[in-house]
Structure 1
Amino acid sequence: MSNAVVNGLAGAGGGIIAQIITYPLQSVNTRQQTERIAKKSRSQGSSGGTLVQLIEVIRTEGIGGLYSGLKPSLLGTAASQGIYYYFYQVFKNKAESIAASNKRKGRGDGTVGMFSWLVVAALAGALNVLFTNPIWVLVTRMQTHTQAEQKILEAKKEALLRECSESSLIGTSLHDKLREIDSVKPNPYGTLHAAYEVYNEAGIRGFWKGIVPTLIMVCNPSIQFMIYETSLKYLKSKRADKKQSSSKVTALEVFVVGAIAKLGATVTTYPLLVVKSRLQAKQEISTSNSLRYSGTMDAIVKMIQYEGLSSFYKGMSTKIVQSVFAASVLFMIKEELVKFYGMLAKKSQKILLKISN
C-alpha cells in the first residue's frame, strides 16, 4: 500500500473520531455563523454564549438537536480527510522528490521550503473542495434547519399581528391562531429531504453553493500545514543538533503543534467561513430580504452594510475551541495510525521472510 493511501485512510479515521467528539460545538457554531441580526435590531438579541446555546438546543430539540446532520457530516469528514491527505501526500512526495533532485544539481539543501508547503496544501485543498462541497451544503442545511423553521414561524406571527392591526381579528381568534403557530414543530429533516430542497431551489448548481469562499479558504489548510510541517521540521532538526537517540516527535507534541497550526489558520480565514455558511444555509433563516444573499459578493456587501464588520467574526471563539481541538485530535490519531500501519507492515515482512526461508 502506498504512503499516500495509508495517509488518506489514516486521515479519514482521525477525522471521523475528531468529528464525533467535537460535533455539538460545530453544530452550535454553524448556527452562530448563520444568525443574522441587523445593527438596529441588535439590542433585541443575541442568543447568548456557546454554553447558553448548547443548553437551549438541548431544551428545545433534545440531545439529538446537537447531532443534526451528523451522518452526512461523518461521510463528508471521511471523504474530505481521505481525499485531502491522499492528494497532500502525493503532492508532498513530488515536492520532496523535486527538492532532492535540486540538491543533487547543487541547488538548495534538499528540504521542501515554506512556499512549496503552501502550494502542496493548496492543491490538495482545491481538489478536496471540488469533490466534497455538495456534502457540506447538506450538512449546513441540516444543522440550521430548526433555526430556519423558527424564523419562518416568527415571520408568520409578525404577518398575523400586522393583519390584526388592520382588521377586526382580535381577542380569542388572534390568540387561537398564535397558539396554533406556536404548536407547530419543525418537520423531520433527513439527508434526502435536504438534497431535494437544494435541488428544487437551484438545481445541480445549488450543491456547489459557497464554492468561491470555500475555494479561497484552501488557504486555511495551506496556512495550517505550513505551520505544522515547519514546526515539526524545527523540532526534528533541534533534536538532531542535540544528537538525541531519536528525532521522532511524540503524540503529545503532534497534538500541541496541530493545535497551534489550526489556531493560526482559523483566526486568519474565519470571515470566509462565515460567508460560506450563510450562503449554504436556507435563506429563509432571515425574515428580511436585506439579509438574504444571491452570491459571495452580495453576502459580503450586505453583511458590512446591515450588520457591520463584527458579523464576520460571529461564533469565532466557539470555532477556535472546536476546530483547534478537532485538528489536534485528528493530527495525533492520524500520525499514530500511520505509525501503527508501519509496524504492521514491518512485522508482516518479517513473517514473509521467515516463511520464504
Structure 2
Amino acid sequence: MSNSNAIANGVAGAGGGIIAQIITYPLQTVNTRQQTERITKKGRLSSQPKPAAGSTLLQILHVIRTEGWGGLYSGLKPSLFGTAASQGIYYYFYQVFKNKAEAIAAARKDRGYGDGTVGMFSWLIVAAIAGSLNVLLTNPIWVLVTRMQTHTQAERKIMEEKRKALLSEASISSSIGSGLQHKLVELDSIKPHPYGTVDAAREVYNEAGILGFWKGIIPTLIMVCNPSIQFMIYETSLKHLKAKRAANKHGLKSVSALEVFVLGALAKLGATVTTYPLLVVKSRLQAKQEIGGNISLRYSGTIDAIIKMIRHEGLPGFYKGMSTKIVQSVFAASVLFMVKEELVKAYMILTHKSQKVLLKLKN
C-alpha cells in the first residue's frame, strides 16, 4: 500500500506541476530574463534599451509587443516535460523516504522513544534527499529551458555589441559611409532566428560539451534546501491543522483545498525569500555566456559568478526580479499543492472503490 501511495503522490505531483507551470509560465519567462539582465552599481553593463524595467506587467506587455505571445512561452515544451519529470521524481522519492521515516518513527515509539510522529529535522532530510536526486536527474532539461527563455535577450545583446563596434569604426574614420550605413540598416533588420530545443542542446554542447548540461548544478544542489524548507513548513503546518481538526469533535475534520492552497503559499514564500540569491546565480550560469566582448558578463563557475556579481552589481544583483518570482512561485506552489492533494484523494477513492468491486466479484 505504501508503494501505491508513493506512485499516487508521484503522478499527482506531476499533474499538479504541469497545471501550475502552464498558468504561471509567462511570469517565469520574464523572471528568468530579469535575473540574467546585468546592471552595474553605477550604470548598465549593457546599453540594451529596457522600456519595461519598472513593472513585471509592463515587461510582459513589452515581450508580447516585440515577440508575440510565443515570446512568453519560449521553452514551454521542455519545461512541461521537465516539470512532469521533476515533480514526479521528487514526489515519488519524497513519499518513499517519508514512508520510511514514518516507519522508523513508529518503530522508535514501540521501543519507548518518541510519540511516533516524524520530527521537523526528519522532514528536512527526507525533502533534501528527494530534492538532490531530482536535481541530478533533471538539470539538463532546465539548462535548455533557461537558454530558450533568454535566447532573444542574448541575441539582442550580441546585435547591440556588433552595432557598437560598427559605430566605433565610424567614429574612428570620422564619417559614416554608405557601406557602413548599409551594414547598420542590415543589422537593425535582423531578427532572432528560430530557436528550439535541439538548437539549445546543440549550443550548450558546442560551448561546454556534455558537462554543459549540468551547468549551475552546485547552486541548484544547494537550493535543495528551498523545497526542504518549503515542505518542512508545509508538513508541520498541515500536521498541526489536522491535529487541531481531529481535536474538534463538532467541526470539519478534513482539510479543504483552500486551506491547502494557503499553506502551500506560505511555505513557498518562506522558502523563496531565503534561497533566491542562489536561483539568480543558477540562471546566470545556465544562460548564454558569450555575450559581446565584456568579460564581466561571462562566468566560468559558481564562485566566479558570485565574485563578479558582487564586484560589478553589488548585493542588489542577487535579488533581481524577486518580486516577480515570489508571485510566480507562491501561486504555482499553491496551485500544485491544491491539485496534488485533490488528485491523491481521487486516486485513493477510486482505489478503494475498485477494491470493493473486486471483493464483490470474488464473493
Question: Residue 256 of structure 2 corresponds to which residue in structure 1?
Answer: 250
Alignment partner of 2:290: what SS? helix
Question: Residue 23 of structure 2 corresponds to which residue in structure 1?
Answer: 21
Match of 1:313 among 300, 316, 319: 319
Structure 2 residue 179 is matched with structure 1 residue 179: no
Q: Deviations over 1:258-285 (max 9, x none)?
A: 0000000000000000000000000134
The question of whether the paired residues in 2 share the 8 Å contact of 1:155 and 1:287 is answered with yes
Match of 1:193 among 199, 202, 226: 199
Note the residue ranges of structure 1 that are not aligned, 5 or more in a row: none
Structure 2 residue 8 is matched with structure 1 residue 6: yes
CA distance in 1, matches of 2:270, 2:292: 31
The question of whether the paired residues in 2 share the 8 Å contact of 1:291 and 1:306 is answered with no
Alignment partner of 1:106: what SS? coil
1:169 CA drift (Å) = 4.8
1:166 CA drift (Å) = 1.2
Question: Residue 214 of structure 1 corresponds to which residue in structure 2?
Answer: 220
TM-score by structure 1 length? 0.97
Q: Which amino acid aligns with 2:164?
A: E
Structure 2 residue 47 is matched with structure 1 residue 55: no
Give the number of aligned pairs. Answer: 357
CA distance in 1, matches of 2:84, 2:136: 15
Question: Residue 131 of structure 1 corresponds to which residue in structure 2?
Answer: 137
- Cα distance change of structure 1 residues 286 and 264 upon mapping to structure 2, 3 Å threshold: farther
Q: Deviations over 1:214-237 (max 9, x none)?
A: 000000000000000000011011
1:197 CA drift (Å) = 0.7
1:137 CA drift (Å) = 0.1
1:349 CA drift (Å) = 1.1
1:175 CA drift (Å) = 2.9
The question of whether the paired residues in 2 share the 8 Å contact of 1:36 and 1:286 is answered with no
Q: Deviations over 1:299-321 (max 9, x none)?
A: 00100000010000000000000
Alignment partner of 1:39: what SS? coil
Q: Deviations over 1:192-225 (max 9, x none)?
A: 1100110011011000000000000000000000
The question of whether the paired residues in 2 share the 8 Å contact of 1:147 and 1:285 is answered with no
CA distance in 2, matches of 1:73, 1:42: 30
Q: Compute the RMSD of aligned alpha carbons.
A: 1.4
Q: Deviations over 1:119-143 (max 9, x none)?
A: 0000000000000000000000000
Alignment partner of 2:42: what SS? helix
Question: Residue 293 of structure 1 corresponds to which residue in structure 2?
Answer: 299
CA distance in 2, matches of 1:207, 1:54: 28
1:65 CA drift (Å) = 0.3
Structure 2 residue 151 is matched with structure 1 residue 145: yes
The question of whether the paired residues in 2 share the 8 Å contact of 1:286 and 1:292 is answered with no
Note the residue ranges of structure 2 that are not aligned, 5 or more in a row: none
The question of whether the paired residues in 2 share the 8 Å contact of 1:252 and 1:332 is answered with yes
CA distance in 1, matches of 2:220, 2:154: 22
Identity %: 77
Q: Which amino acid aligns with 1:251?
A: A
1:42 CA drift (Å) = 4.0
CA distance in 2, matches of 1:296, 1:132: 19
Q: What does 1:276-355 correspond to in 2, within 5 Å?
A: 276-285=282-291, 287-355=293-361
Structure 2 residue 96 is matched with structure 1 residue 90: yes
- Cα distance change of structure 1 residues 286 and 244 upon mapping to structure 2, 3 Å threshold: farther
CA distance in 2, matches of 1:343, 1:270: 38
Q: Which amino acid aligns with 1:48?
A: G
- Cα distance change of structure 1 residues 337 and 285 upon mapping to structure 2, 3 Å threshold: farther
Q: Deviations over 1:52-91 (max 9, x none)?
A: 1101110110000000000000000000000000000000
TM-score by structure 2 length? 0.96
